[in-house]
Amino acid sequence: MTPDPVGGRTVDVAPANAAQLGAWDGAQGAFWAAQADRFDRAVARYDAAFLAAAELRPGDRVLDVGCGTGATTRAAARVTGSALGVDLSAAMLEVARRRAAEEGLDGARFEQADAQVAAFPPASFDVAVSRTGAMFFADPVAALANVGRALVPGGRLVLLVWQALEANEWMTEILGALAAGRPLPAPPPGAPGPFSLADPARVRRVLADAGHAQVEVEGLAEPEWFGADADDAVTFVLGLAGWMLDGLDDAAREGAVADLRRRMAAHAGPDGVELGSAAWLVTARRA
């Protein structure tokens, strides 16, 4: 058990995931909860392909890993009648529960848990999904093996993970502005983060080692929405990644923010500010 930084709760979390608990059940998770609609809209163009790959049917029992504020959990529950979303962030889960209640989705349930070590009943789910959540496990093999044990034999697994940083304009533009010419430290290869599963070969190895078979990796590319206009997008990005400005003097900070505003304005159109993104749609079956 690891003490939770918010309210003294205790969460059963793998020791290697303690930093993720601190972030997602701290300020980072609170920001995502407050910006739930924006984050859902940002990746919404991936949802149709993601949910279609899950092949959801009425009566399926669905596990949503890293469910955040529950958009995919609720979408699954509308089709199947039963979906459990798990996440480390109590703030995001509070939003998820409120929205499910507002929709009258009694079959959408939510629990605060680390899916890497959660004691899911064996063979209790037909489908497991994770929309941009699986990249944050310290040990993805252990996590996806644990999820696999919760699936019935032949149960379906669907992941959406980001392709490499250089294929994701939304991140290269943010880094290009906020780094202000400085080399920012890169995480070690495979470390938890948005691009930890960007290599399809690694994805295949991880899933095979975790006991999954029939692995398929399909490339998708969609624009990601960042705001109604440049100023709106800048406010959002600074809330999300303003830490990148740490260590800059006032003049350099002003210059970086001005550069960010120019970049966001260059991507503004009739539907708002949209930047390119690329993801892998990964499907597998429990062996």
Residue 65 is part of a domain; what is its CATH number? 3.40.50.150
Beta bridge partners of 156: 127, 285
Q: Cβ neighbours of residue 178 under 8 Å, at least 6 residues apart? A: 237, 241, 242, 244, 245, 256, 260
Given this model, what pLDDT does residue 10 score? 77
Q: What is the distance between the alpha carbons of residues 66 and 212, in angstroms, rounded to a whole number?
A: 19
Residue 193 inside a domain? The answer is yes
Residue 269 inside a domain? The answer is no
Q: What is the distance between the alpha carbons of residues 209 and 200, in angstroms, rounded to a whole number?
A: 14
Given this model, what pLDDT does residue 11 score? 87
What are residue 18's phi and psi, to 5 degrees?
-60, -40
- Would you tell me how many other CB atoms lie within 10 Å of the CB of residue 182? 12
Q: What is the distance between the alpha carbons of residues 140 and 134, in angstroms, rounded to a whole number?
A: 7
Residue with tokens 């809209």: 41
- Domain residues for the domain of 138 are 2-166+187-227+277-286
Q: What is the distance between the alpha carbons of residues 199 and 115, in angstroms, rounded to a whole number?
A: 22
Residue 259 inside a domain? The answer is no
Given this model, what pLDDT does residue 218 score? 98
Given this model, what pLDDT does residue 7 score? 43
Tell which residue, 211, 74, 191, 215, has the closest CA to residue 136: 191
Residue 200 inside a domain? The answer is yes
Given this model, what pLDDT does residue 183 score? 84
Q: Cβ neighbours of residue 61 under 8 Å, at least 6 residues apart? A: 80, 82, 83, 84, 124, 125, 126, 127
Enumerate residue ranges in the chain where pLDDT < 70: 1-9
Residue 266 inside a domain? The answer is no
Please report the sign of the dihedral spanned by the C-alpha atoms of residue 28, residue 86, residue 194, residue 162.
negative
Residue 267 inside a domain? The answer is no
Given this model, what pLDDT does residue 273 score? 98
Tell which residue, 66, 51, 46, has the closest CA to residue 276: 46
Residue 85 inside a domain? The answer is yes
pLDDT tens-digit map of 150-168: 999 999 999 999 999 999 9
The backbone region for 85, taken as left when phi is positive above 0, alpha when psi lies in -120 to 50, beta otherwise, is beta
Given this model, what pLDDT does residue 187 score? 75
Residue 251 inside a domain? The answer is no
Given this model, what pLDDT does residue 244 score? 94
Q: What is the DSSP letter of 189?
A: T
Tell which residue, 115, 123, 122, has the closest CA to residue 65: 115
Q: Are 2 and 11 in contact (CB under 8 A)?
A: yes
Q: What is the distance between the alpha carbons of residues 65 and 24, in angstroms, rounded to a whole number?
A: 14
- Tally of domains within the chain: 1
